[in-house]
Amino acid sequence: MRIVTGALKGRVIPFNARRGGEIRLTSSLLKEAVFSMLGPELEGLNFMDLCAGCGQVGLEAYSRGARTAMNEPDQRRYALLQELEREWQLEGLTLYHLKAQALIPWLEDHGQHFDLVYVDPPYEAQLNNIPLSLALLQQLGAGELVAADGWCFIQHQRSLELPLEAGRLYRQRQRDYGQTTLSLYSPSRPQENN
């Protein structure tokens, strides 16, 4: 997995299943779609990758100038992210090592807000008998972690239909990429003609 643009352009994330465990990687097509929506420059924006995995989305945001925080609950993958942080000398990168559902209230208690929140949990994961991606969307919609003019990206399996609204977050658009769907939410009510 190669960083496409920005300060880290061309660097390869040295991830393999033997060291980091089996995970579903975000396709290049989907990653390209996300960052074409955001644009090449993210300077000054706060970006949170709640379920970082090998770090491919968060590191791309960092490379494009965002103040980036990444969270990974798995110890092996968290250790790999720490190793990359040291080896690549990633100044200002923040790493967390908690379950996403525990990190959200902790960040809110500490007054954190993010312009961009990316949510891509394991598709099969559940919380209180509902898909984790839906549970995290509901949790984010009930709080203030997504800034008033911010965006929340939820990457989820295509067969899961997420709601049009969740608390203060409203679905603005949705795109399918094979068996994966990207749903975009923000605190603004969508225009009628969208």
| Domain annotation covers residue 158 | yes
| Domain annotation covers residue 130 | yes
| Domain annotation covers residue 102 | yes
| Tens digits of residue pLDDT in 85-135 | 999 999 999 999 999 999 999 999 999 999 999 999 999 999 999 999 999
The predicted pLDDT at position 26 comes to 78
| Domain annotation covers residue 127 | yes
| Domain annotation covers residue 6 | no
Q: Indicate the number of domains in the chain.
A: 1
**CATH classification of the domain holding 131:** 3.40.50.150
C-alpha atoms less than 13 angstroms from C-alpha of 141 in its C-beta half-sphere: 23
Alpha carbon distances (Å) from 14 to 77, 81, 92, 99, 137: 11, 10, 21, 23, 30
| Closest by CA position to 161, among listed 140, 131, 119 | 131
The answer, yes or no, to whether residue 194 has pLDDT greater than 60, is no
Task: Name the one residue in this structure whose structure tokens are 């500490």.
Answer: 110
| Domain annotation covers residue 52 | yes
| Closest by CA position to 123, among listed 131, 112, 113 | 131
Cβ neighbours of 32 (radius 10 Å): 15
Cβ neighbours of 193 (radius 10 Å): 4
| Domain annotation covers residue 94 | yes
| Tens digits of residue pLDDT in 151-193 | 999 999 999 999 999 999 999 999 999 999 999 999 988 775 4
The predicted pLDDT at position 192 comes to 57
| Domain annotation covers residue 122 | yes
> Domain range spanning residue 34?
17-186
